[in-house]
Chains A and B, each alone.
Chain A
Amino acid sequence: MAKGIRDKVAILGMGCSKFGERWDCEAEDLMVEAFEEGLADAGVDKNQINAAWLSTAIEDVHVGKSGVPLAVALRLPYIPVTRVENYCASGSEAFRGAVYAVASGAADIALALGVEKLKDTGYGGLPQRGRGVLNSMVNANGSAPGNFAQLAAAYRAKHGVSREDMKRAMAHISVKSHDNGSRNPKAHLQSKITEEQVLNAPMVAEPLGLFDCCGVSDGAACAIVTTPEIAKSMGKKNIVTVKALQLSVSNGIEAQHNSWDGSYFMTARVAAKRAYEEAGIKNPREQISLMEVHDCFSVTELVTMEDLYISPEGGAIKDVLDGFYDHDGKLPCQIDGGLKCFGHPIGSSGLRMLYEMYLQMQGRAGARQRKEQPVFGMTHNLGGAPNMNVCSVAIVGLEGA
């Protein structure tokens, strides 16, 4: 394996818009909102940015294609701007582009910005969209919740879990994320909920009820990255560096080959292993301090705890119900509310996860700040469906950790 990019790139500044139903905003307004914060945090001039990556996944309902919308919205000085898309992991993809540009020496300072403006469709949930000419003739008449809901049936069958126990663990995950979201002023959903509310909510896609699903939000987030040397030369303290950045993409085994049992993410396991190796982490359950995972649905978060090798296989339900992943637990997961409550503007989400890790590392997370100084923060950003997906795992930490 290549030796990776551990400590080669530092986060110079980050920004994140308020997430939510931003009825009064265009995507361009959200981009500027995130960028203003990120630029001020980085303490650089816009003209020092050498290259930029824009991530959006459902661009046909807002900015359209290409890097142009970012360049125009921010009035970037005719630098290279590339639009990237990799399902719901697009934000991590923009980050990867910027980080690799810096790691390679092609850029001194690079920008990754993700945006999604979803609330212009006229209905709730993700926009209906074409899947491609052939796929539309073959794919099941599904939805995102329906695709992820299937994890539950397969997980129950594999581990002999009752419908009730499964539903209760999933409920705990959502209650925890709402609790966390209540301490986050930028979160889309800031109200606490009870387990009873979750269990009695209307069904969306069996067994996922309304509170098992994350919010569909408008929002933008960005990162400005550079080398640790440049960051230091600018007088930056508590520098947060990238320890690992991995991506794993399905090649059709899950969808076509009977070796996958439907209860977990093959990609996440591959990406996590590689990320731990790149970051030099031997025992993730002990060494990871904080996690932001792709909790698009409660059941996704549940199985991901095992895919990231934090909970033992078949042990996620126990850890969840024991409060291991609560904000005051051993390893808080979604301390900012996660996709569930911070919200899920698709192209921004990977960057939003990193934003939280960055704030927590620097002790700037306000009411939701973890007391113990985090050492390694991990983000897990997934896109697609369990049987066909892309999974990004990133690990950041203070320089020298």
Chain B
Amino acid sequence: MVGIVAYGGYVPRLRLARKAIVEANAWSNAALKGGGKDERAICNWDEDALTMAVEAARDCLQPAERGQLKAVYLASTTLPFQDRLNSGVAAEALNLGDNLETLDITSSQRAGTSGLIAAARTAAAGGGPLLFLTAEKRRTRAASPQELSYGDGGAALLLDKGPGIAELVAHESKAVDFVDHYRGDGRPYDYTWEERWIRDEGYNKIVPPVVKALLDKAKVKGADVTHFILPCTIARVAAGIAKKLGMPDSAVRDNLASAMGEAGTAHPLVMLVHTLQDAKPGDKIVVASFGQGCDALLFEVKPEIAKLAPRLGIKGFLARRKPETNYNKFIAWNQVVDQEKGMRAELDKQTALTTLYRKSGMLTGLLGGKCTKCGTLQYPKSKICVNPNCNAMHSQEDQPFADMPARILSYTADLLTYSPDPPQHYGMVQFEDGGRLMADFTDVDVGKVDAGMPMRMVFRVKEYDPARGFTKYFWKATPAAGASAG
């Protein structure tokens, strides 16, 4: 028996109005005109699949729960590294230690669900607690239909033996090399075939038998399904399949198209987290996904769900929302246009991998020091305590700072330094229990920053090295308001 023990979600704060996409592009593609409703989630310039996975994980796990984890799996088709273990970076950022099984799962829109099935098997066999992460930052061509329908986001599930809050009752899979779209090696964008064919020959023929087999295996009638999850950007497909399988109309879950768009391989689990936030004990949840075949999973919600500590989940992060109407910002951040960045942006950004390894706790995990002689917290950890009344040598143990509340001591909004999102806000943030850091700020509103403001730390892209394709990560401060369940 295996189940979901806890969940977490993440949706980037910025929501681009689809109207802005249509206004910019309908002159060249009139077919876009009907798609100008609502909004889609877009990553800030310093967010990607990895940073979103880390945020979803932080939403899922209390810091105290992290020590016991045995495995971290990460599913995404938009990972920042082709060859550097992305789940390993996430584990380091979360300070999970190195006694871990880590795995990246990719290459399909089913990576999220197929990975979850593999993770469930591992956890059922005693390999848990296992943290399953998924996130997607989807790149699209300007004026493509996908630019309207796609969105960014992520989810996290903690799996372990036992029923948890939602027991995995059964799962079913089928592999079919049906190429509705593909993204070749080194290509940034999806290449997509005709929508009507994808609907008729793809979804409608491949998904129903798999879901039926799942229900038969679990001896559950379609009518007894409480929540049916099937991400699909084509209208009415999920509802049609539900009907065919005898599920009530009310079971078909909102695919969040109007609130955030479709977050690729992460989307089935984004929708699952969203569903768990509504679910009651006894609810039966079917999660189905489509991508070179189909996966289907049946969960039964357990009474434990009522005891789950509050968290933001997908709902909370959807509510933490900042409307964005500047389409140019979106295409500049995603390298759709070749933007002039100025000479200040030309500075070489090479990363010394030796230093990165030596200081990985400090850099990736935001570990500082705590002096065992005087108790002073300090970042970074050093050989000699910073407290002028102590200065003890070799006295510091690791002190995590990432989850400690902080406040702004001083700040500025800088228009001189190169920033993808000027003005660059940064300042001294002071941690509640001691220690401070001159940190970049992110997800702030111009004119609404001042000394004393409560902040929390988030794992973000510090900068990208275009000469070598290396993404540098570090921690930034962001307004705490709306960003925590507590």
A129 to B343, CA, bound (A): 12
* Residue contact A156 to B451, C-beta cutoff 8 Å: yes
* Residue contact A143 to B417, C-beta cutoff 8 Å: yes
With both chains docked as a complex, state the minimum distance between the C-beta of A199 and any C-beta of chain B, in angstroms.
Answer: 17
* Residue contact A255 to B412, C-beta cutoff 8 Å: no
| A262-B343 in contact given A133-B352, A145-B414, A204-B415 (Cβ < 8 Å) | no
Which of A119-127, A226-234, A236-244, A360-368 interfaces with chain B? A119-127
* Residue contact A258 to B435, C-beta cutoff 8 Å: yes
Is A217 part of the binding interface, using a Cβ–Cβ cutoff of 8 Å?
A: no
A29 to B450, CA, bound (A): 47
With both chains docked as a complex, state the minimum distance between the C-beta of A385 and any C-beta of chain B, in angstroms.
Answer: 8
Bits for A136-157, please: 1 = Cβ < 8 Å to B, else 0: 1111111101110111011011
Chain B hits for A140, CB < 8 A: 426-427, 438-440
Is B215 part of the binding interface, using a Cβ–Cβ cutoff of 8 Å?
A: no
| A142-B355 in contact given A137-B474, A206-B412 (Cβ < 8 Å) | no
**Which of B342, B362, B416, B439 has the most A CB atoms < 10 Å from its CB?**
B416
Chain B hits for A387, CB < 8 A: 428, 438
* Residue contact B351 to A154, C-beta cutoff 8 Å: no
Tally of chain A residues near chain B (CB < 8 A): 46
* Residue contact B410 to A151, C-beta cutoff 8 Å: yes
* Residue contact B428 to A150, C-beta cutoff 8 Å: yes
Chain A hits for B450, CB < 8 A: 153
Is B327 part of the binding interface, using a Cβ–Cβ cutoff of 8 Å?
A: no
* Residue contact A150 to B430, C-beta cutoff 8 Å: no
With both chains docked as a complex, state the minimum distance between the C-beta of A10 and any C-beta of chain B, in angstroms.
Answer: 37
Is A253 part of the binding interface, using a Cβ–Cβ cutoff of 8 Å?
A: yes
| A143-B355 in contact given A122-B343, A130-B347, A137-B363 (Cβ < 8 Å) | no
Is A21 part of the binding interface, using a Cβ–Cβ cutoff of 8 Å?
A: no
| A145-B416 in contact given A133-B355, A257-B388, A258-B435 (Cβ < 8 Å) | yes
Q: What range describes how many residues of B lie at the interface? A: 35 or more
| A256-B343 in contact given A137-B472, A157-B451, A262-B410 (Cβ < 8 Å) | no
A302 to B450, CA, bound (A): 20
> What secondary structure prevails in chain A residues at the interface with B?
loop
Q: Which of A93-152 contact B (CB under 8 A)?
A: 121-123, 125, 128-130, 133-134, 136-143, 145-147, 149-151
* Residue contact B451 to A153, C-beta cutoff 8 Å: yes
Chain B hits for A401, CB < 8 A: none
Kindly count the residue-residue contacts between A and B in the assembled complex, taking CB atoms under 8 Å apart.
Answer: 137
* Residue contact A130 to B416, C-beta cutoff 8 Å: no
Which of A202, A253, A262 meets B428, CB within 8 Å? Answer: A262
Which of A123, A149, A251, A259 meets B412, CB within 8 Å? Answer: A149
Chain B hits for A143, CB < 8 A: 414, 416-417
Chain A hits for B414, CB < 8 A: 142-143, 145-146, 149, 204-206
Which of B342, B351, B436 meets A123, CB within 8 Å? Answer: B342
* Residue contact A134 to B347, C-beta cutoff 8 Å: no
* Residue contact A121 to B343, C-beta cutoff 8 Å: yes
Closest to B388 in A: A253
Q: Which of A245-276 contact B (CB under 8 A)?
A: 251-253, 255-259, 261-263
Which of B347, B386, B439 meets A253, CB within 8 Å? Answer: B386
With both chains docked as a complex, state the minimum distance between the C-beta of A339 and any C-beta of chain B, in angstroms.
Answer: 17
Is B333 part of the binding interface, using a Cβ–Cβ cutoff of 8 Å?
A: no
Is B419 part of the binding interface, using a Cβ–Cβ cutoff of 8 Å?
A: yes
Chain A hits for B413, CB < 8 A: 203, 205-206
Q: Which of B419-443 contact A (CB under 8 A)?
A: 419, 423-424, 426-428, 430, 434-436, 438-440
A181 to B161, CA, bound (A): 77
**Which of B342, B414, B423 has the most A CB atoms < 10 Å from its CB?**
B414
A83 to B358, CA, bound (A): 32
* Residue contact B438 to A139, C-beta cutoff 8 Å: yes
Q: Which 7 pairs of residues, A with B, have the shortest CB-CB distance? A: A146-B414, A150-B410, A140-B426, A149-B412, A157-B451, A262-B410, A206-B413
Further contacts, 16 of them, CB under 8 A, given A141-B462, A154-B428, A258-B434: A125-B416, A134-B352, A136-B349, A137-B462, A141-B417, A142-B414, A142-B426, A142-B438, A146-B426, A202-B415, A205-B415, A252-B382, A252-B386, A258-B436, A263-B410, A387-B438
